[in-house]
């Protein structure tokens, strides 16, 4: 009889903490998700979530969707450089199967970006099949500060989240003031050139050109393609649009275009206004479209309206990397980062 009482008490003691160790949170899609009280291991569903997780709580990362390039490593904390590659659940080329996810033993899976029905369906399916809480966080540009605060509360890193959220909102407000009350004719007309030939680009209103428009520029590409996104165009189309500014994410394009006669009649080429987006450890335009774009926003606003903003981009870069990436940039690192960006 006594051993039965002892066994019952032991079972109760085991059960009580586990019953109190979970809580319900509501994510950006309105889904009620039960998460552990203490979250120590987080899997990012895709690159935008990975960038946000690294900035907010690198100690909780369990791996990379895609291992960083060798050139990226000096721009990342030493503690995360050698984390394993575990693949991704979202986007093109999703590579993580559910067995891999379960073997990684995350407390929570987190995605940052769209919260439409497609992503809700994926989150529900993965959560049901693995038993792992799956959070969807709204990744819209203007929601970035709110996303930081939401995740800070869920992950138990409120103080850091608040510091990052405040600075994020300051950057958004600053860019808004720089572009305020400027006539459309005085705004830069911008072409985003991707790939070595420069003919892959982002449609107006897409997640890829959102930062250009948020900084006060006008994206010249408008193919009226439903849903926006990446499009391929011809050089003849670029010549018709005749942008006065080209932002490129490809160093080969930036290096070659000035000497290519085919591009010589584009106004941006004639004026020498071809700027290479920095990309270490994350791109400043997209690559991925996450919190890394906040420094890109500071950069573009200064390119577009140099007389309306204080602060040199070198100083702003040092400050951003110190706060967001927790890295102190050396002068050679900064030189490499900004090569072609000014």
What are the structural domains of the chain? 22-173 (3.40.50.1980), 183-338 (3.40.50.1980)
Give the pLDDT score at 225.
62
Mean pLDDT of 293-311: 93
Confidence at residue 8, expressed as pLDDT on a 0 to 100 scale: 41
Q: What angle do CA 249, 204, 281 make, to 5 degrees?
A: 25
Q: What mean pLDDT do residues 106-135 have?
A: 94
**Which of 1-5, 162-166, 247-251, 285-289 has the weakest average pLDDT?**
1-5
- Cβ(202)–Cβ(246) under 8 Å? no
pTM score = 0.89
Asked whether the bond before 288 is cis by omega within 30 degrees of 0, the reply is yes
* 287 pLDDT more than 90: no
For residue 3, pLDDT beyond 50: no
Look at residue 85 and tell me whether its pLDDT is greater than 80: yes
At residue 93, the pLDDT reads 63
More confident residue, 45 or 100: 45
92 vs 334 pLDDT, higher one:
334
Summarize the confidence of residues 60-75 as an average pLDDT: 96
123: pLDDT strictly greater than 90: yes
Confidence grade of residue 258 (pLDDT, cut at 50, 70, 90): confident
Residue carrying the six token digits 């897409």: 206
Per-residue pLDDT reduced to its tens digit, 18-52: 444 889 999 999 999 999 999 999 999 999 999 99
Q: How far apart are the first and last CA of the chain?
A: 81
pLDDT at 185: 86
Which residue, among 140, 83, 138, has the nearest Cα to 115 in the 3D structure? 138
Average pLDDT over residues 315-323: 97
pLDDT at 42: 97
Q: Cα Rg for the chain, rounded, in angstroms?
A: 23
Mean local confidence (pLDDT), 247-275: 91
CA angle 210/211/216 to nearest 5° reads: 100
């Amino acid at each position: 009889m006594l051993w039965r009482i002892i066994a019952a008490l032991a079972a109760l003691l085991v059960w009580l903490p586990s019953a109190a160790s979970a809580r319900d949170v509501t994510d950006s899609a309105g889904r009620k998700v039960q998460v552990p009280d203490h979250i120590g291991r987080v899997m990012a569903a895709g690159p935008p979530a990975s960038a946000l997780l690294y900035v907010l709580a690198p100690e909780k990362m369990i791996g990379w969707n895609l291992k960083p390039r060798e050139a990226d490593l000096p721009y990342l904390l030493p503690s995360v450089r050698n984390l394993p590659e575990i693949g991704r659940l979202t986007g093109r080329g999703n590579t993580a199967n559910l067995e891999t996810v379960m073997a990684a033993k995350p407390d929570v899976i987190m995605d940052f970006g769209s919260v439409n029905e497609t992503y809700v369906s994926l989150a529900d399916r993965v959560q049901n099949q693995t038993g792992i809480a799956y959070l969807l966080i709204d990744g819209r540009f203007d929601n970035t500060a709110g996303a930081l605060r939401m995740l800070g509360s869920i992950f138990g890193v409120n103080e850091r989240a608040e510091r990052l959220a405040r600075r994020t909102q300051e950057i958004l407000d600053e860019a808004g003031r720089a572009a305020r009350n400027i006539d459309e004719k005085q705004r830069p007309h911008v072409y985003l050139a991707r790939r070595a030939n420069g003919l892959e680009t982002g449609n107006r209103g897409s997640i890829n050109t959102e930062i250009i428009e948020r900084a006060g520029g006008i994206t010249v590409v408008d193919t009226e393609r439903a849903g926006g996104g990446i499009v391929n165009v011809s050089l003849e189309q670029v010549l018709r649009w005749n942008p006065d500014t080209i932002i490129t994410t490809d160093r080969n394009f930036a290096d070659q275009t000035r000497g290519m006669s085919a591009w010589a009649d584009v106004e941006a080429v004639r004026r020498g206004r071809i700027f290479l987006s920095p990309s270490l450890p994350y791109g400043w335009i997209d690559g991925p479209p996450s919190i890394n774009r906040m420094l890109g926003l500071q950069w573009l606003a200064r390119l577009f309206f140099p007389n309306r903003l204080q602060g040199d981009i070198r100083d702003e870069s040092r400050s951003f990397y110190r706060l967001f990436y927790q890295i102190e940039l050396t002068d050679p690192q900064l030189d490499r980062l900004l090569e072609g960006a000014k």
